[in-house]
Amino acid sequence: MAMRQLSIREALNEALAEEMERDERVFLMGEEVGYYDGAYKVSRGLLERFGEMRVVDTPIAETGFAGVGVGAAMVGLRPVIEFMTWNFSLCAIDQVVNGAAKVSYMSAGEFDCPIVFRGPGGAVHQLAAQHSQSFESFYAHVPGLKVVAPSNSYDAKGLLKTAIRDEDPTIFIESEAMYGIRSDVPEETYTIPFGKAQIKQEGEDVTILTWAKATPTCVKAGEILKDRGVSAEVIDLRSIRPLDFEAITASVKKTNRVVIVQECWPIASVGTWLSSHIMQELFDYLDAPVLVLSNEDYPFPYAKTLEAEMTPTPEKIVAEVQKVL
């Protein structure tokens, strides 16, 4: 495949444009997605290309436009609803959790809800407690939702195209801090199936499971460990629901040790559930308890020095790996 370097925001923009070109039922709706080209410029140029009926600027009213999207999906359209940040999705959580997630089940399959809720999540730089939260654990808790969190441009494009084509509602969480990071993306069109993890670094001594913005942090930790004679296998889960437990099982059987790294709070999180699942299903293959490295269990501080202490770092990951070794 011919490759070129795209930022994550460019890859997402390309995915949206290709799917809107491919299927006239696809439309984008959210705050500032049109005339402002998106708060993070993910929708740059789409209004000019597709017009106001398919790139819809909304008021600051997440409950309202999320609900409009759910209704549109029920009658055959394929909406992409952008939250300016996933922190604001809490205003619309009833539409997402009691609406989109349950439409197919409560209608006995009479209605599908092919909708994508997307936008930036997680910590960025000094946006403080109300704008720095990771909500994948909130939404992964809910049957009926698919939850995706890409870590690079290639995955962002391929997974978003899959999400738009999927018949079920998808929670698509992008990293605000990573929008400008560039990586290889094929010129040819492609999709990436949900539930297929990717091995970012092969290893024999310990499995490091992660997703989203924590992935490159884990890769850096893997490089440090390699210099110290430790062979770490780093796996990017890509999608959290559905989960690629086959890839996890194969790796655990090989390494017999697991560290899970997440930029989420620790209690009732994806990482703690995954730890429990591994210890129930793969206990006989483990030579040490599964460890979970999370954000510190506090609201995010504004101060730069304190913010840096909140999330997993390569040094913290190395320390956790040393414990299981």
Query: Under a CB-based contact definition with an 8 Å cutoff, are residues 221 and 232 in contact?
Result: yes
Tell me whether strands 3-7 and 182-186 are parallel, antiparallel or unpaired: antiparallel
Which 8-state DSSP code applies to residue 89?
A: G
Instruction: Check 31, 82, 131, 307 and give the catalytic one.
Output: 131
Does residue 277 have an active-site annotation?
no
- Whole-angstrom distance between the N-terminal and C-terminal Cα of the chain? 40
Does residue 141 have an active-site annotation?
no
Instruction: Check 10, 31, 62, 176 and give the catalytic one.
Output: 62
Query: Under a CB-based contact definition with an 8 Å cutoff, are residues 69 and 29 in contact?
Result: yes
Token code pair at residue 78: 């394929």
Report which residue type is found at 162. T
Choose among 96, 230, 73: nearest CA to 166. 73
Burial of 36-67, coded b for 16+ CB within 10 Å and e otherwise, reads ebbbbbbbbebbeebeeebbbbbeeebeebbb
Q: List, by residue number, the catalytic residues.
A: 62, 131
